[in-house]
Chains A and B, each alone.
Chain A
Amino acid sequence: MKARHIRTLLIAAAALAAWELIVRSGLVSPIILAAPSDVFLAAKKDGAVFLRAFLITVTEIGVAIVIAWTLGILFGLIVGSSYLVAAATAPVLSSIFAIPLIILYPLLMAWLGVGPLSKVVFGVLAGFFPIALTTIDGVRAVDRGYLTFARSIGATRLVTNTLIVFPLALPAIVAGLRIGTGLVVIGVIVTEMLASLGGLGYVISYHRSLFDTGHVYFGMALALLVALGVNAALTRLDRRIGHWRLRQHAECDS
């Protein structure tokens, strides 16, 4: 093991110890800050419950991601292919983006109940707007020269859009996917906290109302795991696609 890693581990261990002391000594109330030992105990005691909740949340997020990506990208590609439609639609999407979508959740709750469906629908809504917007921008940013080239070789509209425009717009689209997916994750977890039958948000909320701070922190740690995990995966994707975006603009005249 590298010295650098050992050092990080030692610092982490020291931090945990300090954290434990701060709570045990009464410096910070155990209701506000759970000691690492409390979190560990909570995990041991109700690990199965949390696991089930974790799986529910991850499933809801997964489904919402697939739908939001598909709808957002398709919508963005179609709208983006026309200058006029894009010019009329993008501002509308921006305006809607400014509305705190969370206030729509009670409506979804009333219409669709408090089960996974309302969470998935909300997640899709949360992710759709940024993805659609960045896709539109990405498509419009494609150099006109490529469109002229496509026409000169007799490519149909469909071929031009799928084989030329879409790959060219991909780096911008992926950047939007990062933002949008982050919003999907938050959206699902937060709505689970507001009103749900299951899922991480629900479990966190439940234990908060009982002041089981250890459980709350454990739940939050799992939620953070999901959020950061998704973010990391998308950053990887962004970087890989971004690589050849940078190359696209690399000038090397020799």
Chain B
Amino acid sequence: MGAALAGHLIFAALLFGGWELAVRFALVDASLLPPLPQVCAILWGFLHDGAFIGDLELTATEVAVAFLIAAPLAISSGFLLGERLHLAATFNPVVHLVLAVPQSIFLPVFILAFGIGFLEKVLFGITHAYFIILVNSFAAVTSIPPALVAAARVFGATRVQVYTRIYLPAMLPLILTGLRLGMILCIIGVLLAEMYASRRGIGRLIFGWGESYQIPELLAGILLVSILTIIVNEAMRLLELRVARFYRSAAGS
């Protein structure tokens, strides 16, 4: 929508314009806020720096692995709970309790149990993504009107057809939303774990720059991660919208 685009542009203008102005008029100490061009140059340099790319790849891999394990597990769990509602009655309170509890707090325990390597990061990411995707998948399954399924059966649809033609399209939008939120939480989890205790990874780099007052690098890192996560988020949101619109129009016919 036009307004959304305008809003983003205005915000970017205010943010970067304000940044430039603050630097130009020396409103802030130069060591606290280096000029934007300098930061951009450093960012650009990162993209050509082998070591940095290595760290970026590591973080991305941790996120991807965690997500690719959590997502199918969570969707099938949600599906199972949705189909067998008696199981849901037992597990739902547990799930809601877990969601009420901030999982990030358990990071020290993860480290005590699994160290500070790849495995710990992935496991931490999995726990973050799993529950939110589960909740959304469960909601997706239970949102299917039973009347719809009954109607399909009356028209002689087979089990497979019911699942693919009715369940899947009806569930897809909610599941996609859950996946997007799960991805965001997974990224947050992995980055946090890296910042807290890690040998490598983008989180480690960013935290290190903060500790050693390397502000230009720090800002460049923040900028890069922000851009990347916004891209991932918007891409997934577009997919959600596309699917929702497609199935809404299909449902109308």
Tell me if A100 and B100 are in contact (CB < 8 A).
no
Contact residues in A for B222 (Cβ distance below 8 Å): 103-104, 107
Per-residue CB proximity of A84-122 to B under 8 Å, as 1/0? Answer: 100111111001001110111111011100000000000
Tell me if B191 and A102 are in contact (CB < 8 A).
yes
- In the complex, what residue of chain B is closest to A216 when comparing beta carbons? B108
Per-residue CB proximity of B194-225 to A under 8 Å, as 1/0? Answer: 01100000010011011101010011011001
Q: Is B1 an interface residue (CB 8 A)?
A: yes
Q: Which of B136-191 touch A at CB < 8 Å?
A: 184, 187-188, 191
Q: How far is the CB of B214 from chain A (nearest CB, A)?
A: 9
Contact residues in B for A103 (Cβ distance below 8 Å): 191, 195, 203, 206, 221-222, 225-226
Q: Is B89 an interface residue (CB 8 A)?
A: no
Contact residues in A for B127 (Cβ distance below 8 Å): none
Contact residues in A for B6 (Cβ distance below 8 Å): 88
Q: Which of B81-108 touch A at CB < 8 Å?
A: 100-102, 104-108
Tell me if A92 and B101 are in contact (CB < 8 A).
no
Tell me if A224 and B229 are in contact (CB < 8 A).
no
Tell me if A107 and B210 are in contact (CB < 8 A).
yes
- In the complex, what residue of chain A is closest to B215 when comparing beta carbons? A110
- Per the bound structure, the CA–CA distance linking A186 and B203 in Å amounts to 18
Tell me if A100 and B1 are in contact (CB < 8 A).
no
The A interface is mostly helix, strand or loop, or mixed, namely: helix
Q: Is A13 an interface residue (CB 8 A)?
A: no
Contact residues in A for B109 (Cβ distance below 8 Å): 32, 216-217, 220
Interface size on B, residues (CB 8 A): 47
- Per the bound structure, the CA–CA distance linking A193 and B203 in Å amounts to 15
Contact residues in B for A98 (Cβ distance below 8 Å): 184, 229-230, 232-234
- Per the bound structure, the CA–CA distance linking A110 and B107 in Å amounts to 23
Tell me if B192 and A195 are in contact (CB < 8 A).
no
Contact residues in B for A208 (Cβ distance below 8 Å): 108, 111-112
- In the complex, what residue of chain A is closest to B105 when comparing beta carbons? A223
Q: Is B10 an interface residue (CB 8 A)?
A: yes
Q: Is B8 an interface residue (CB 8 A)?
A: yes
Tell me if B100 and A228 are in contact (CB < 8 A).
yes
Q: Is A182 an interface residue (CB 8 A)?
A: yes
Q: Is A160 an interface residue (CB 8 A)?
A: no
Instruction: Please list the residues of chain A having a beta carbon within 8 angstroms of any beta carbon in chain B.
Output: 31-32, 84, 87-92, 95, 98-100, 102-107, 109-111, 182, 185-186, 189-190, 193-195, 204-205, 208, 211, 213, 216-217, 220, 223-224, 227-228, 231
User: Ordered nearest first, which 5 A-B pairs have the shortest CB separation?
Assistant: A106-B210, A88-B7, A98-B233, A87-B3, A91-B4
Known: A107-B215, A110-B218, A208-B111. 5 other contacts (CB 8 A): A88-B6, A95-B233, A103-B225, A186-B102, A224-B101
